[in-house]
Chains A and B, each alone.
Chain A
């Protein structure tokens, strides 16, 4: 079974609108961390935001927020006021304590295109 599922291969949004990128995860470990990365066409993976399984509040970083619903095992990324520069691939990743390796697992990614 996929540990991280991103069901939207591609998303389109109008500039200045908000967009939600979906991420669901599968783990039996009570302790885990969830990460979102942005990858523009240039190739660099840029860390955006982190949410820990024990965090009570949803994480926010500027225009990025993480809608964390623990019971549903979802960690959706919300981008407010989209900009043309937000066009990129977005990857959700999870790091678990179980097994001791702590190596992140990445989802397949969502391609976001922002239209002017």
Chain B
């Protein structure tokens, strides 16, 4: 089973709202990732959790706050977003081994619109 699930599929929020994106995997993977993707562009890495610890933060604005409650779950808390934050947010997971063969498996994404 190579399934990563994400909820919600679509989200519309105002600039003053607080919302959260959720990601879950049951593959026993120990690395989880958040990516932001604009239309017709490659995904841009935001955060990496390795063994439930934040290992990479790609200089993401503080209005995005990641959380990894356990090895299967990854959240992205959103607060005071800007319209330019509208994008597809993809979650991925991988075994988490520091090897070149470590394959990322992606969820279906959350399409976020900020009004």
Can you give 11 A-B contacts (C-beta < 8 A)?
A: A35-B104, A37-B106, A43-B90, A43-B108, A45-B90, A45-B92, A47-B104, A95-B102, A97-B100, A102-B102, A111-B40
Which residues of chain B are near A33, meaning CB under 8 Å?
A: 100-102
Q: How many A-B residue pairs have CB under 8 A?
A: 60
In the complex, what residue of chain B is closest to A111 when comparing beta carbons? B40
Within 8 A of A (CB), among B64-115: 88, 90, 92, 98-109, 111
Determine the distance from Cα of A98 to Cα of B71 in the docked complex, in whole angstroms. Answer: 26
The proximity string for A residues 21-54 relative to B, scoring 1 for CB distances below 8 Å and 0 otherwise, is 0000000000111010100001111110010110
Interface residues of B in 2-49 (CB under 8 A from A): 2, 40-43, 45, 48
Q: Is residue A68 contacting chain B, with contact meaning CB distance below 8 A? A: no
A31 and B101 alpha carbons, distance in the complex (Å): 10
In the complex, are the beta carbons of A43 and B109 less than 8 A apart?
Answer: yes
Distance, CA A104 to CA B99, complexed state (A) = 11
Across-interface contacts of B100 in A (CB, < 8 A): 31-33, 52-53, 95-97, 102
The residues of A with any CB-CB pair to B shorter than 8 Å are 31-33, 35, 37, 42-47, 50, 52-53, 89, 91, 95-97, 100-104, 106-109, 111
Neighbouring B residues of A50 by C-beta, 8 Å: 101, 103
Collect the chain B residues with CB atoms within 8 Å of residue A31's CB: 100
Query: Nearest-CB distance from A109 to chain B (Å)?
Result: 6
Closest chain B residue to A89 by CB distance?
B40
Provide the bound-state CA to CA distance between A52 and B108, in Å: 26
- In the complex, which of the residues A46, A89, A101, A109 contacts B106, with contact meaning CB atoms closer than 8 Å? A46
Q: What is the minimal beta-carbon distance from A9 to any residue of chain B, in angstroms?
A: 9
Contacts of B98 in A (CB 8 A): 100, 102
